[in-house]
């Protein structure tokens, strides 16, 4: 099945431009249309008339306006950090169209965070009447656990994110591994034969909970996808000059980038 992967956001948790920073990358990112302007990380998978989103960060509303997203059929979450969950409330108007409730898929740790932050949404009594009509489907953390959605399978690929293990996802010939400092051995067999690999590459210097540029290039060599795109990118990496120095099959992602792949 033909599918499209859209980068709703490709930036790190602080976004680019980073508030209060006047570095060259942040300065250029103030210009509309600059590839250095990076909103918080999220992707949308579109297939067979359905839109499935991975993570809703603080920029979800602006991203949905930019991409003219009229419907969302399901949301998968990777983990409970602010840049991945805080936009959940902006699903409200999109959830009203779904009589059964818009399904959210998350592991227990992430579900607990979402339920705590948006307590008024999940209250059994005295629920705020216009809160999001969402249903959390709690998922196992097992490597390879499958979520079946609209004729496709989305597979959990555990990744190491600092001291935590969080969800990456594989779907058909593509995999999305945001927020990872390493990939556990058990996940490598789930990443064979990829067309598209999306990997975290925060900056040039190592970081305790995110992969850095040189490490992500090494991981691309190990996993050997046909092409790779780096996301969760900070103001440390200028789009044009970084791309010019990368191997031809590896690119920095950018907001609004759309890729066709086989699901």
Tell me which residues in 162-191 interact with Zn ion (CB under 5 A): 179
> How many residues belong to the site for Zn ion (CB under 5 A)?
9
Nearer to Zn ion, 18 or 121 (CB): 18
- Verify binding: residue 239, Zn ion, rule CB under 5 A: no
- Least spacing, CB of residue 10 vs Zn ion, in Å: 11
83 binds Zn ion (CB under 5 A): yes
200 binds Zn ion (CB under 5 A): no
Strand 50-54 and strand 74-76: pairing? parallel
Candidates 100-108, 122-130, 219-227, 229-237; binding stretch for Zn ion (CB under 5 A) = 229-237
For Zn ion, the binding residue among 133, 156, 212, 235 (CB under 5 A) is 235
- 10-29 residues near Zn ion, rule: CB under 5 A: 13, 18, 21, 23, 26
Minimum CB distance to Zn ion smaller for 50 or for 203: 203
Q: Which is nearer to Zn ion, 28 or 46 (CB)?
A: 28
- Which is closer to Zn ion, CB of 167 or CB of 220? 167
| Alpha-carbon torsion angle 14, 19, 24, 27, nearest 10 | 120
Q: Which are the contacts of 169, defined by CB distance < 8 A and separation ≥ 6?
A: 54, 76, 78, 154, 155, 156, 157, 175, 176
90 contacts Zn ion (rule: CB under 5 A): no
Rounded to a whole number of angstroms, the minimum distance from the CB of residue 56 to Zn ion is 12
Nearer to Zn ion, 26 or 54 (CB): 26
Comparison of 28 and 121: residue with beta carbon closer to Zn ion:
28
Does the protein bind Zn ion through residue 238 (CB under 5 A)? no
The answer to whether 211 and 199 have CB atoms below 8 angstroms apart is: yes
Q: Where on the chain is the footprint of Zn ion (CB under 5 A)?
A: 13, 18, 21, 23, 26, 81, 83, 179, 235
């Amino acid at each position: 099945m033909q599918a499209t992967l859209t980068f709703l956001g490709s930036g790190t948790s602080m976004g680019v431009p980073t508030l209060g920073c006047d570095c060259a990358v942040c300065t250029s990112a103030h210009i509309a249309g600059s590839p250095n302007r990076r909103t918080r990380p999220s992707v949308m998978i579109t297939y067979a008339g359905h839109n499935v989103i991975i993570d809703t960060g603080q920029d979800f509303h602006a991203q949905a306006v930019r991409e003219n997203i009229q419907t969302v059929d399901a949301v998968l979450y990777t983990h409970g950090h602010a840049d991945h969950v805080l936009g959940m409330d902006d699903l409200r108007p999109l959830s009203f169209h779904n009589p059964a409730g818009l399904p959210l898929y998350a592991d227990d740790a992430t579900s607990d965070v979402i339920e705590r932050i948006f307590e008024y949404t999940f209250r059994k009594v005295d629920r705020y009447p216009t809160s999001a009509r969402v249903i959390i489907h709690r998922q196992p953390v097992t490597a390879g656990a499958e979520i079946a959605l609209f004729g496709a399978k989305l597979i959990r690929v555990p990744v190491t994110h600092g001291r935590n293990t969080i969800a990456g996802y594989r779907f058909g010939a593509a995999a999305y591994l945001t927020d990872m400092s390493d990939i556990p051995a058990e996940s490598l067999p789930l990443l064979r034969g990829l067309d598209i690999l999306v990997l975290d590459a925060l900056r040039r210097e190592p970081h305790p909970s995110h992969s850095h540029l040189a490490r992500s290039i090494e991981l691309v060599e190990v996993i050997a996808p046909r092409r790779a795109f780096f996301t969760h990118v900070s103001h440390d990496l200028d789009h044009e000059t970084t791309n010019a120095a990368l191997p031809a099959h590896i690119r920095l992602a950018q907001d609004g980038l759309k890729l066709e792949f086989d699901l």
